[in-house]
Amino acid sequence: MSEPLTLLCAAKLFPNLLERYLLPLTRCDGVRKIVVVRHEALSGGLAKLENVPFGPGGTARSMARMVRTVDRVLGSEKVDWVLGFNPVPWGALGAAAAARHRVPVSLSFIGMDFKQIMHPLAWPFWLAVRHARLVTVTGERMLRGLVARGLPEDRIRILPHAVDTERFSPSGEEPDLDVVSVGQLIERKRMDVLIDAVADLRDRGIVVRAGILGEGPQRDALARQIRERNVGDRVELLGFRNDVETVLRRARLFTLVSNWEGVPFAMIEAMCTGLVPVVTDVGTIGDWISNEKNGPIVPVGDPRALSRSIERLLRDHDHREELRAAALAMRPSLSLDNGVAFWRNALWS
């Protein structure tokens, strides 16, 4: 390995999500510094980070500021790679500035950006993807989609979702929640389906306690749904918390019933903590979850199917333990060491 690298990350993701993507990079011995160009500084305490915030503003203003700020940093110090987590638009903007300074670019698709890049009007961002030295995706489905669009396969790699398996580890404590779901409270996460599933179980005489961890614009609507379905004693909106692992250890099952995802860290963290995932087969989740082998797969938008899966897993202890063991067996492939090894190979190859 040659001298340590300086990386620049151009992103506008939520702080906790961006920090999860950057964590393996901060553990690489060959990374000296990561300059984070974002509208606000990251304050999570990760090592090796240098924040260069460009300030608040609307989308158009922020896009212009992103390009100018990346260009200014690249013009003032030696940067070895520009990384973009979310090519549409933020990663592509960083790539545009990198092209001017002839700095290699890595762009990472993480979810909705994969669907957005397929839109005909997204061609300016597609040009950035076409010229990136490295493109990462969350699974085989995304890889095949980009190859079909014309991107050379030898420039695409599947990025492992590496988490801190010491932090996200099983507990011997007795859970007080049957089900937990973690995610931003937005429409495509479909937290309403979980609430309806708990109401369906109640109607069939089955008591299930569920927690929903996260914040977002759908909170008021979900709170209203909980009241209207009369499940306030069974579904709790837990808000945003930094100690996600504490909440995960309180539960037996994890649900993710979104309309679309890449591979959410919340699911990976739940599996490493010993929860059985009940998920929809959207995005690249099917690359990680095999139906009834390490977690049930349910149809999108189907509360009854979700309630039946929850009921079966809670009633059938042996089956739940089989799936739990299968999920926990994936821990080595989901560890930070695996993520560090990926970036070492990718950035120095």
Residue-wise pLDDT tens digits, 273-324: 999 999 999 989 998 999 889 999 999 999 999 999 999 999 999 999 999 9
The residues spanned by each domain of the chain are 5-159, 177-333
Residue whose pair of structure tokens reads 């708990």 in the numeric block: 198
**Which residue type is seen at 181?**
S
pLDDT given for residue 292 in this prediction: 83
Sheet holding 210-213, edge to edge: 235-239, 210-213, 177-182, 251-256, 276-280, 297-298
Mean pLDDT, contiguous 10-residue spans, the chain (349 residues):
88 92 95 97 92 94 96 97 95 96 97 93 95 96 96 96 94 91 96 98 97 97 98 97 94 96 93 97 91 93 98 97 95 94 92
- What number of CA atoms fall less than 13 Å from residue 337's CA on the CB side? 5
Kindly report the CATH class assigned to 177-333. Answer: alpha beta
Q: Is there a common fold for 5-159 and 177-333?
A: yes
At 288, is the secondary structure helix, strand, or coil? Answer: coil
Kindly report the CATH class assigned to 5-159. Answer: alpha beta
Residue-wise pLDDT tens digits, 9-45: 999 999 999 999 999 999 999 999 999 999 999 988 8
pLDDT given for residue 172 in this prediction: 81
At 198, is the secondary structure helix, strand, or coil? Answer: helix
User: 298, 305 in Cβ contact below 8 A?
Assistant: yes
**Which residue type is seen at 240?**
F
Which residues, 6+ apart, have CB-to-CB distance to 113 below 8 Å?
86, 87, 88, 91
What is the distance of C-alpha 53 from the center of its chain? 23
Strands (E) located in the chain: 5-10, 31-38, 49-53, 81-85, 105-108, 134-137, 156-158, 177-182, 210-213, 235-239, 251-256, 276-280, 297-298
Give the Cα separation of 159 and 343 in Å (integer): 9
Using alpha carbons, select from 265, 304, 310, 302 the residue that is nearest to residue 281: 302
Alpha-carbon torsion 202, 174, 337, 293, what sign?
negative
At 85, is the secondary structure helix, strand, or coil? Answer: strand
User: 62, 39 in Cβ contact below 8 A?
Assistant: yes
pLDDT given for residue 307 in this prediction: 98
- What number of CA atoms fall less than 13 Å from residue 296's CA on the CB side? 21
| Most distant pair of Cα atoms in the chain: their distance | 66
pLDDT given for residue 323 in this prediction: 96
